[in-house]
């Protein structure tokens, strides 16, 4: 009987495969000095409230009777109960307990039982808040940061040539796993039951201040193109002139992390406009940032026949739900492995993901574990 001697593994040496990171990526907080979507706009009802959170900070979104949305700390200045339990009257948010009233700036503007000659108590923190692209965005960081003026641009959303699918789901993992999962197309094996056998090829890597991106092309090694994918991306063509192997003869996918957002665009060979344009934000909800609310806008270019997109849509939904479900399961498994280990043991060998990991760490902030 032969036996195999156990290999002793020094994790610190293994991690030497890549340049060491400045800190543990899974213990890196996301920089709050950006605009983050915290809700779907439709979930903040007129004269209603919605309790949300950003990296453990409770935030209430409220919509006035006239339809304006504002964001306040979700903690009454009186006895710290959530203001999201309260109600909106006109343009004021009334705490459910003793009816202290707050306006959109967070100022306490009325305490019903306070003598008129007494001054009103301090209010609560308010956050810059903008409704756009069917989402409610909040700027949870420092209002004096220049990034307040840098609102995310999602050009394709609202373009009538595209139909938008909204993705909004809680995923129990650190946001960095999400970036790595989407950018690393070498995980097509995970999706083999839905997509067959696809071989990705990284064509080019680019990077700059606060961003990294990669171009891929693909070829099918076995199996047929799934129908949902065909409806979404069009039928994959063989390169018309395979010998030339020019970029315009290939299907190209570009995935970019432009901190803190991530985009994916897919062009079929020879097309000027992407068949698919995806914009994602992964917003940590808890203080340790081990969970995130993923907001995605998936813009799919409509086929030439009017209304056809609506017939294809259920197939596209089914297909993308299948893929996202597999991704969700695997990144949550990665988070559980990290929790069991207590530190990141990743042995990254793929250059773009190494760059991405440095980007996420270097742009991030300390997590306060108090």
Per partner kind, with CB cut-offs from 5 to 8 A, the member of ligand FES, Fe ion, none near residue 336 is: none
Burial state string for 129-158 with b = 16 or more CB within 10 A and e = fewer than 16: bbbbbebbbbbbbeeeeeeeeeebebebbe
Tokens representing residue 100 in the block: 């202290």
Per partner kind, with CB cut-offs from 5 to 8 A, the member of ligand FES, Fe ion, none near residue 81 is: ligand FES
Nearer to ligand FES, 114 or 349 (CB): 114
CB of 286 to ligand FES, least distance (A): 24
* Residue 31 near residue 362, CB atoms below 8 Å: no
Nearer to ligand FES, 81 or 130 (CB): 81
Nearer to ligand FES, 52 or 124 (CB): 124
The Cα 301–Cα 104 span in angstroms is 38
All residues at 6 or more sequence positions from 291 whose CB lies less than 8 Å from its CB, including other chains: 170, 171, 172, 173, 284, 285
CB of 54 to ligand FES, least distance (A): 22
The residue among 197, 279, 214, 221 whose CA lies nearest residue 252 is 214
The Cα 60–Cα 52 span in angstroms is 6
- Length in residues, the chain: 370
Per partner kind, with CB cut-offs from 5 to 8 A, the member of Fe ion, ligand FES, none near residue 247 is: none
Residue of minimal Cβ distance to Fe ion? 327
The Cα 66–Cα 252 span in angstroms is 45
Per partner kind, with CB cut-offs from 5 to 8 A, the member of Fe ion, ligand FES, none near residue 74 is: none
CB of 81 to ligand FES, least distance (A): 5
> Strands 135-138, 129-132: parallel, antiparallel or unpaired by DSSP?
antiparallel
Nearer to Fe ion, 198 or 212 (CB): 198
Nearer to ligand FES, 79 or 201 (CB): 79
The Cα 322–Cα 167 span in angstroms is 13
CB of 60 to ligand FES, least distance (A): 12
* Residue 66 near residue 162, CB atoms below 8 Å: no
Per partner kind, with CB cut-offs from 5 to 8 A, the member of Fe ion, ligand FES, none near residue 100 is: ligand FES
Per partner kind, with CB cut-offs from 5 to 8 A, the member of Fe ion, ligand FES, none near residue 327 is: Fe ion
Per partner kind, with CB cut-offs from 5 to 8 A, the member of Fe ion, ligand FES, none near residue 98 is: ligand FES
Burial state string for 88-119 with b = 16 or more CB within 10 A and e = fewer than 16: beebbbbbeeeebbbbbebebeebeeeeeeee
Per partner kind, with CB cut-offs from 5 to 8 A, the member of Fe ion, ligand FES, none near residue 95 is: ligand FES
Nearer to ligand FES, 74 or 213 (CB): 74
CB of 343 to ligand FES, least distance (A): 41
- CA 1 to chain CA mean position, Å: 52
Binding residues vs Fe ion (CB under 5 A): 327
Please, which residues bridge with residue 36 across strands? 138
CB of 76 to ligand FES, least distance (A): 3
Q: How far is CA 367 from CA 112, 175, 248, 280, 370, in A?
A: 40, 13, 44, 22, 9
Please, which residues bridge with residue 89 across strands? 92
The Cα 140–Cα 145 span in angstroms is 11
> 189: exposed, middle or buried (C-beta count within 10 Å: 0-12, 13-18, 19+)?
exposed
Per partner kind, with CB cut-offs from 5 to 8 A, the member of Fe ion, ligand FES, none near residue 219 is: none
Nearer to ligand FES, 11 or 79 (CB): 79
Nearer to Fe ion, 213 or 327 (CB): 327
CB of 85 to ligand FES, least distance (A): 9
CB of 80 to ligand FES, least distance (A): 7
* Residue 52 near residue 137, CB atoms below 8 Å: no
Nearer to ligand FES, 81 or 239 (CB): 81
CB of 34 to Fe ion, least distance (A): 24
Binding residues vs ligand FES (CB under 6 A): 76, 78-79, 81, 95, 97-98, 100
């Amino acid at each position: 009987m032969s036996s195999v001697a156990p290999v002793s593994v020094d994790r610190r040496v293994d991690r030497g495969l890549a340049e060491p990171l400045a800190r543990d990526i899974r213990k890196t907080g996301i920089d709050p000095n950006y605009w983050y979507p915290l809700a779907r706009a439709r979930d903040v009802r007129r004269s209603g409230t919605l309790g949300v959170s950003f990296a453990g900070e409770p935030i209430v979104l409220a919509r006035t009777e006239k339809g304006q949305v504002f964001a306040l700390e979700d903690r009454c200045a009186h006895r710290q109960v959530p203001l999201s339990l309260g109600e909106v009257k006109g343009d004021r948010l009334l705490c459910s307990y003793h009816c202290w009233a707050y306006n959109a700036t967070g100022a306490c503007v009325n305490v019903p039982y306070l003598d008129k000659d007494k001054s009103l108590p301090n209010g609560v923190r308010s956050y810059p808040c903008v409704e756009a692209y069917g989402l409610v965005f909040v700027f949870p960081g420092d209002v004096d940061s220049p990034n307040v003026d840098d609102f995310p641009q999602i050009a394709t959303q609202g373009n009538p040539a595209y139909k938008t699918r909204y993705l909004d789901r809680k995923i129990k993992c650190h946001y960095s796993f999400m970036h790595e999962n989407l950018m690393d197309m070498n995980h097509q094996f995970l999706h083999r039951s839905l997509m067959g056998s696809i071989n990705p090829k990284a064509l080019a890597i680019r990077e700059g201040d606060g961003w990294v991106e990669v171009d891929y092309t693909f070829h099918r090694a076995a199996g047929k193109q799934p129908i949902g994918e065909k409806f979404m991306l069009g039928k994959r063509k063989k390169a018309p002139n395979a010998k030339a192997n020019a970029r315009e003869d290939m299907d190209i996918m570009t995935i970019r992390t432009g901190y803190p957002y991530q985009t994916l665009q897919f062009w079929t060979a020879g097309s000027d406009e992407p068949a698919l344009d995806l914009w994602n934000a992964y917003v940590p909800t808890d203080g340790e940032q081990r969970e995130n609310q993923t907001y995605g806008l998936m813009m799919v270019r409509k086929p030439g026949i009017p209304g056809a997109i609506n017939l294809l849509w259920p197939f596209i939904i089914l297909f993308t739900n299948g893929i996202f479900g597999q991704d969700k399961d695997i990144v949550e498994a990665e988070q559980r492995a990290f929790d069991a280990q207590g530190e990141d043991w990743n042995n990254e060998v793929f250059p773009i993901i190494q760059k991405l990991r440095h980007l996420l760490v270097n742009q991030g902030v300390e997590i306060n574990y108090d």
